[in-house]
Amino acid sequence: MGYGLVIVTGCMRSGTTLLHRTISTSPDTGPMLAPARYITDQFDAYRRYARKERFFVDDYFADLEAFRAHLRHTVQRILDAAWDKSGRPHTLVIKSVDFGYSLLLVSETLPEARFVVSVREPKDTVTSILKVSDRQRQDGVAAGPGGWGRNIKRAGKVYVASYLPVLRAIRFRRELAERVHFMKYEDLVSAPSATMAAVWRHCRIAPGSGNLEELARKSDPERDETAARNLASSKHWRAYLTELTSKAISRSSVGSHATALSASEAAAIDWRCRSIRRRFGYA
């Protein structure tokens, strides 16, 4: 790999998009790329067929290592194509909340990658998830959050499941801790300069301006307009757009749970997410 690779992940609605956009203001990066769902699909397929449904691939690969080599080759080709299409920047920055679920596998497959994990107070994160659920339900979307309703327990499980694999991977591979940087959403929106200084160092790239409006200068306007139009027309994905999408960094969503959750709901989230809260200093 002739370029650096930074992978942004974290729980849905924890600020991964804002973090991805801010990192992409670095002169060492190319235009901000769409979420890397197609890449995470490759890892999901490997996990599926390397475990319970192994018998479906045994006739096509000599052994599990050959199957793993196929995964590495496929993912590398996708990344190389994205790097080339992005103008061959010093560092490619990709993002998906699904990377966290397979972080150990991803880190072994892409040993050059460095990870930045966005963390946000669980009650605020769940509040944002519930808003997505409401908007999707109004659009008649039954898949994903749209089918959950106001399910505090389900949303809390998603929060915990987003971070446990990352923390377990670091415990399992101690050296992985040097490749993973946790960034709190609250720190980014309240002290962006200091917070991003640590991110730049971790990613080993030149500091960016942090001015999200500058991203437009690095992108293809026609491509961005087409992507925005497709996103807005999708019942599933347009629910993720908020009043802060594509806007400057703002603290307005910090503490949003105070007017959105009942006392019992807030207590239920605190209890379900207690181990993660303590680990990230939200006790």
pLDDT in tens, the chain (283 residues): 789 999 999 999 999 999 999 999 999 999 889 999 999 999 999 999 998 899 999 999 999 999 999 999 999 999 999 999 999 999 999 999 999 999 999 999 999 999 999 999 999 999 999 888 888 888 787 777 877 878 899 999 999 999 999 999 999 998 999 999 999 999 999 999 999 999 999 999 999 988 877 777 777 777 777 766 777 777 666 667 666 566 666 677 888 888 889 999 999 999 999 999 999 998 7
Specify the CATH number for the domain of residue 47: 3.40.50.300
Domain extent, residue 167, equals 4-279
Measured in degrees and rounded to the nearest 5, phi and psi for residue 206 equal -65, 140
For residues 83 and 5, the answer to whether their CB atoms sit within 8 Å is: no
Task: Count structural domains, the chain.
Answer: 1
pTM for the model = 0.92
SS (HEC) of the chain: CCCEEEEEEECCCCCHHHHHHHHCCCCCECCCCCCCHHHHHHHHHHHHHCCCCHHHCCCCCCCHHHHHHHHHHHHHHHHHHHHHHCCCCCEEEEECHHHHHHHHHHHHHCCCCEEEEEECCHHHHHHHHHHHHHHHHHCCCCCHHHHCCCCHHHHHHHHHHHHHHHHHHHHHCHHHHHHEEEEEHHHHHHCHHHHHHHHHHHHCCCCCCCCHHHHHHHCCHHHHHHHHHHHHHCCCCHHHCCCCCCCCCCCCCCCHHHHCCCHHHHHHHHHHCHHHHHHCCCC
